Amino acid sequence: MKQLQICQKGLFGVIAIGFSYGIYRIFRGLTKGEFRENIKQQIVKCYNESINKGFVEPFDILQTFSKNEQGIEFHIKLVKSLAKKPVGYQQNINPLIEPFEEGQLVLKLQKYNLLLNKYPVNPYHTLLVPEQFIHQTEKFSKEYLSLTYDVLCAVEGFAFFNSHSEAGASLDHKHVQIVSKLAYQSANILNHIREWQFERSLKELNKFIRLRYLKKIKHFILFFNQDQLQSKNCDELQQQNLIYETYERLLNKCQVDNIQDLKHNLIMTQEFMMIVVRKKANYNGVSFNAVCFTGSLLAKNEQECEKLKQARIIEILEYLAEVDEYVYQDIDEC
């Protein structure tokens, strides 16, 4: 298998990382599967090296606790690395642009950098970031979403995005986060949606979906057309269009004139995309980003962990999201 020579110095390494996704495939003859396999291998290699070098804080769960509500087993975790994450960055420092810290850069993809998250919420936690500054509230491009999909497929995981500080974003430079398949072990909302999908026809999956136990909050789910998206004949342009069409349908369903005003979380798996409209970032002093809507709630200290143990998880999620009392006729519940 051909390897992406990203971390090596020398002419080949410099040229290789300069090729775009499409150009690299043409010049190096990589299929989509080979391209994703190389991404996976590079993430694993750089993550393990960066742990040893000290750039990435080790992912240690100090406590874990489960609560079953309405048939969903939610997980509460006390994650050691989160306690070391700065509350805010200096305004004149952007940690998502070059020069990067040693061990931070995984590889370059088109006009984007794939970076390791210094404070991971799961092993192999990465960020896909535009090289040039784009504000976190700006709309995704076709290229950006499609590359995100390639990376999440590479690690068999999912991506999540926090559009605004009130939706859990800590930086203004646009970034989407990707975690590996290990994250599904505590992402039972996503697991529930995926299981529901297996029992449905393609026609049913073209409709908007909402979670029955979160029907008080404004959120929408759309499944990708898997027959087209996973086809060997699905080229780069087709993939971009299929994913972006789903994204735009979700945004239109949210009925917002200016996306910069839409405080939301976006979650994307290999099978579907979900948007949750947010109104608050905190509950009882505990901050939450999109991860809480996967079924996993993260605490950075024992005090936060205890607060979450004492609360009803569904009430927390309802408090964080925008209320939606509209009765929809074109939406199924799962």
Q: Where are the beta strands (DSSP E) in 133-204?
A: 158-162, 176-179
| Tokens standing for residue 286 | 């505990």
Report which of 148, 113, 121, 174 is spatially closest to residue 267, judged by C-alpha positions: 148
| Tokens standing for residue 77 | 């975790």
Cα separations in angstroms, 245 against 145, 176, 219, 240: 11, 18, 17, 8
User: How do the domains of the chain map onto residue ranges?
Assistant: 55-333
Question: 22: how many CB neighbours lie within 10 A of its CB?
Answer: 13
The Cα–Cα gap between 7 and 105 comes to 8
Report the top-level CATH class of 55-333.
alpha beta
- For residue 3, give the H/E element and its range: none
pTM of this structure: 0.91
pLDDT by residue for the chain (334 residues), tens only, comes to 333 434 433 323 333 343 444 544 543 568 889 999 999 999 999 999 999 988 998 878 888 999 999 999 999 999 877 777 766 544 457 889 999 999 999 999 989 999 999 999 899 999 999 999 999 999 999 999 999 999 999 999 999 999 999 999 989 999 999 999 999 999 999 999 999 988 877 667 789 999 999 999 999 999 999 889 988 889 999 999 999 999 999 999 999 889 999 999 999 999 999 999 999 999 999 999 999 999 999 999 999 999 999 999 999 999 999 999 898 988 999 9
Question: What residues have CB less than 8 Å from 74, skipping those under 6 apart?
Answer: 66, 67, 68, 188, 295, 296, 297, 313
| Tokens standing for residue 35 | 């391209």
